[in-house]
Each structure stands twice: as structure tokens, then as C-alpha cells.
Amino acid sequence: MQGPPDISRRLLLGGSLALAGAAATGCAIPVGLGSPQTRVKYWHFMGASDGIIMNKMVQSFAKDNPDIFVEENVLAWGEPYYTKIAMAGSGGRSPDLSTFHLARLAGIGAGRILDPINVKLLEEVGLRAADFSPPIWERAHLDGVLYAIPFDAHPMVQYYNTDICGKAGLLGSDGKLKPTTGVDELITQLTKAKEVMGGKPPLAFDALGLGTVGPWRVWWSLYPQSGGTLLSDDGTKITIDDAKALDALRLMRRLGQEGLCDWRTDYGASVANFTNGQAAFLWNGDWETTGLKERGTPFSMTRFPNVFGSGSAQADCHSFVLPHQRNRDPEVERATYRFIAYLVKNSADWAVAGHVPAYLPALQEPEYLALEPQSEYRSVITEVALDPQVWFAGSASRMWIEFGEAFSPVISGERSPEDGLAAAKASLTRLMSAPNPFPAEERR
């Protein structure tokens, strides 16, 4: 399915990124001694369409603020990113600003790897606690100290192909997917889509592969719907409800076994299949929105289906943190906060990428409210399932990867749901018994 328009688009993107890179280095040269510009070194992991939007925001900030030069450094998402942040922060010669997943805050050694946020400077640039979604703002603190500035929440959502769903009669009169409730309705919906697709699996999600976290994301969307939890609030006891956990796993296995989801797709293949119309549904985070629009896939989005009693869905939040620096230049620090404020206040631009802003005023802006299909799923934000606040949780954490490893073979049918759950519990027990490398008393 790699037609010429596809290639030219890639070339275009590649070329524009290369140009942006060249522009960045071009700009970097004059910023030195005696330069009037303040340089802010910014690390982030926003790839693909997220990366393009972030790059646009950086450029428009540069246009409005000629006295500040933001040096954008895009690093690969996932484990290696957090290894780099940890190394940079521990050395004390780190970037001035970096993006971060809120759920990882408990495990990164806040106070050692990350510096606390200067609330006074934050107020100077016009950001106040009341501007942020309260539960997310709460998660940005550790022991009452603010370590991160929330940017967005990115929940699991359901993408659907409007052509295929239309043919299968799954759309309502308004052209939107008729919502399903419960296991049976979901299976019926998928079966109908399967029929019009000539028996091909209609659902795609990241089900296997190198360090796959997809099985965790799907399970952590389904299982909390029935009120299931993972750990006690203080993180010392496993509180998994076996019956509910197994219900979710049995459904995942059933999807794979009955050919309703393609259990042989890794992350890239799941997105590619949906993009090319080889899948009617995609369960994924909300960040593929821009890419799918650019490729012209006939699609829309809706909330993750309500299967086990509520519409809850797995989510994490992007945020900004200040990796530890031994000597923070006050001028650079001010410039950093101005840049953060610019990004946060322009959250509506960022929402184009699919994410739900954490900055409440942005949620009221007409331009945000008009965004399609973002408005179809943003109501999930009050029902998201965040990670437990323990040191081994968060995006691309050991817990995600180990749960992914435990559940991936359940989807493919190689492992029984019981064995999968037992493997996950064993991982969790091991993680809990391992000492936290950054104990609370280490916080300065």
C-alpha cells in the first residue's frame, strides 16, 4: 500500500524536518558569547505528528520572542529517554527543560534528578494552580512539592474507519459510531465489521513486539472499568481482583482467538493496518490523529468502548520538568518559564495532535471546542485510569513492559489468562519487593 503520494509525503516530512534541523543549527551558531539571545535547551520525545506540531509551536514561540532561542532536541520515546534524563539530571549539566510522563514522577528521583518547579516564577509568567485540571495538578506533586507542569492527558481511544463501519451498518444517522455497552455488543459490532472485511480481523492494537506496552494499555483500560485496582493507595499491597482481571484477559484472548483482532500486529503494524483500511478499529492513544488525517484515512474517533461497566480508559499525562542543574542561570531560567507558559497557554494548538489539554482555560476556547474528532472523546478525561503512584510505574516503565510481556501471549493464545495474570502478579511482587532506587529520604 505504498503509493507514490505516500512516499512524497514522507519525503516532504523528512525534508522539512531536515530543514528545520538545519535551521536550528544555523540559528545555534550565533548564539554564543555576546549574543543577545538566551538559549533554552529543550529535550522532548514527541515523534511523528506530535513532533511536527511541537516543532511548529517552538517556531511560533521563536517568532514572538526573538530574545530567546529554544534549542529543540528530539529523542526517541520510551525507556532510553528516561535513562538519558536520569543520566543528565544526575550529572547536573542537563537540558534546561524536558518533557516527561507524569506517571513516572514517583520513580525518577524527584529532588535528585529533577529540580522543583519555582512556583513564584510560574506565577510571574501567568500560570496558577487553579488553571490546571485538579487531579492532574495533584499528580504533579510529590510530598507537597511541585516537580512538573502538566501539559495534557492522552487517554486510550477507539479510532474507527468510517467507510468500513458505514458498510457494516455500525454508524448512526449522524454518521457517528453507535456506542456499544458490554462484551456482547462489542463482539457483535466487531463481527459485523469482520463480515464486510471478508473475514479479516477488524480490530488492531499493539499486541506484541519488542518491549510492547499495548497489552498493558488495553488491559488497564478494560479492567478498571469494573472498578478493579492494582495496588493499595500507599503502594504496599496488591489489590488485584482476580475475577475482574481475568474477565478482561479472557476478552483479550477471545478477540485474538476468534479472529476479531490481529494478535500478530506490533505497534507500527497496528497503526499501518488501520491507516491503510486493513482494520476497521484501532485501540491506541490519541496521538495518531494528525498522522491519520494527513494520510487521508476515512476515520473518526470515539471513547474507548464501555465493556465492563464504565467508560474508563488508560491514560498518562505529558508534562514539563526541569532536570537537575548544579548551576541554573537565572536568565535562562526565566526564559524557560516564559517558554513553558507559551506552550501551556497555547494548549489548543497542541490539542490538534489529539491530546486533551490539562490547562483548563484552553478547554473553553472555541477553537478547541471546534476540533474534530477531538470533541468526540474528550469527556473521557474525568474517567481516565492513571497508573498507581509507585516508583516502577509510568510510560515505558518496568511495570508496563513486564505486564506487556505477561499479557501479549494471552492475546495470541499461547498462554492462558490465568497464567498471564500469575506472571503479571509475579512481576508486580518482584517490583514491589525490590528497593526503590530513589527512596523518599533522598529528596532534598
Partner 1 sequence: MTTTVAAPATAAPVAQAKVRRGWTQHGLLFVAPFLLIYVVFLVWPVLLGFRMSLSSVNIAGGNDHLVGFANYAEAFSDPRMWRSLWNTLVFTVLSTVPLVLLGLGFALLVHHLRFVQWLWRLSFFGPFLLPSAVVSLLWLQMIYPPDYGLLNGTLGTDVLWLGDPSTAMWSVVMTTVWWTVGFNFLLYLAALQSIPQHLYEAASIDGASAWDKLRSITIPLLGRTTALIVVLQLLASLKVFDQIYLMTGGGPEDSTRPIIEYAYDMGFTGYRIGYASAVSYILFILIVIVSLAQLRLFRKRAEVSS
Residue 89, C-alpha cell as written in the block: 539530571
Q: How far is the CB of 319 from partner 1 (least distance, A)?
A: 19
- Does position 439 interact with partner 1 (CB under 8 A)? The reply is yes
Q: Between residues 298 and 413, which has the closer beta carbon with respect to partner 1?
A: 413
Which of 1-9, 82-90, 250-258, 312-320 is the region at the interface with partner 1 (rule: CB under 8 A)? 82-90
- Does position 437 interact with partner 1 (CB under 8 A)? The reply is yes
**Which parts of 124-163 interact with partner 1 (CB under 8 A)?**
none
Q: Are 191 and 336 in contact (CB under 8 A)?
A: no
**Which parts of 32-51 interact with partner 1 (CB under 8 A)?**
none
Report d(CA 332, CA 70) in Å as an integer.
10
Q: How far is the CB of 209 from partner 1 (least distance, A)?
A: 8
- Does position 384 interact with partner 1 (CB under 8 A)? The reply is no
CA angle, 132 then 138 then 140, to 5°: 85
Q: Cβ–Cβ contacts within 10 Å for residue 118, how many? A: 16
C-alpha distances in Å from residue 67, one per residue of 61, 63, 219: 10, 10, 47
Lay out the site mask for partner 1 across 3-32 (x = CB under 8 A, - = otherwise).
Answer: ------------------------------
Which of 45-53, 59-67, 190-198, 435-443 is the region at the interface with partner 1 (rule: CB under 8 A)? 435-443
- Does position 185 interact with partner 1 (CB under 8 A)? The reply is no
Say which residue the cell 478499529 belongs to.
Answer: 281
Q: Which residues contact 422 (CB under 8 A, 6 or more apart)?
A: none
- Phi, then psi, of 414 in degrees rounded to 5: -80, -15
**Which parts of 411-430 interact with partner 1 (CB under 8 A)?**
414-415, 426, 430
Q: Which residue from 175, 211, 227, 296 is in contact with partner 1, where contact means CB under 8 A?
A: 211
Amino acid at 56: K
Q: Between residues 151 and 438, which has the closer beta carbon with respect to partner 1?
A: 438
- Does position 357 interact with partner 1 (CB under 8 A)? The reply is no
C-alpha dihedral (231, 241, 310, 286), degrees to nearest 10: 50
Q: Between residues 311 and 409, which has the closer beta carbon with respect to partner 1?
A: 409
Q: How far is the CB of 136 from partner 1 (least distance, A)?
A: 25
C-alpha distances in Å from residue 282, one per residue of 243, 277, 299, 304: 26, 11, 10, 10
Q: Between residues 264 and 345, which has the closer beta carbon with respect to partner 1?
A: 264
Q: Between residues 114 and 196, which has the closer beta carbon with respect to partner 1?
A: 114
Q: Which residue from 16, 35, 83, 379 is in contact with partner 1, where contact means CB under 8 A?
A: 83
C-alpha dihedral (328, 149, 437, 443), degrees to nearest 10: 60
Q: How far is the CB of 316 from partner 1 (least distance, A)?
A: 17
**Which parts of 231-270 interact with partner 1 (CB under 8 A)?**
264
Q: How far is the CB of 221 from partner 1 (least distance, A)?
A: 22
Burial class (CB in 10 A: 0-12, 13-18, 19+), 328: middle
Amino acid at 276: N
- Overall residue count recorded for the chain in this entry: 444
Alpha carbons within 13 angstroms on the beta-carbon side of residue 388 total 21
- Does position 398 interact with partner 1 (CB under 8 A)? The reply is yes
Burial class (CB in 10 A: 0-12, 13-18, 19+), 184: exposed
- Does position 442 interact with partner 1 (CB under 8 A)? The reply is yes
Q: Are 257 and 264 in contact (CB under 8 A)?
A: no
Q: How far is the CB of 401 from partner 1 (least distance, A)?
A: 8
Q: Between residues 88 and 136, which has the closer beta carbon with respect to partner 1?
A: 88
Report d(CA 327, CA 331) in Å as an integer.
12
- Does position 346 interact with partner 1 (CB under 8 A)? The reply is no
What residue ranges bind partner 1 (CB under 8 A)?
79, 82-83, 86-87, 89-90, 107, 109, 112-113, 208-212, 264, 392, 398, 405, 408-409, 414-415, 426, 430, 434-435, 437-439, 442
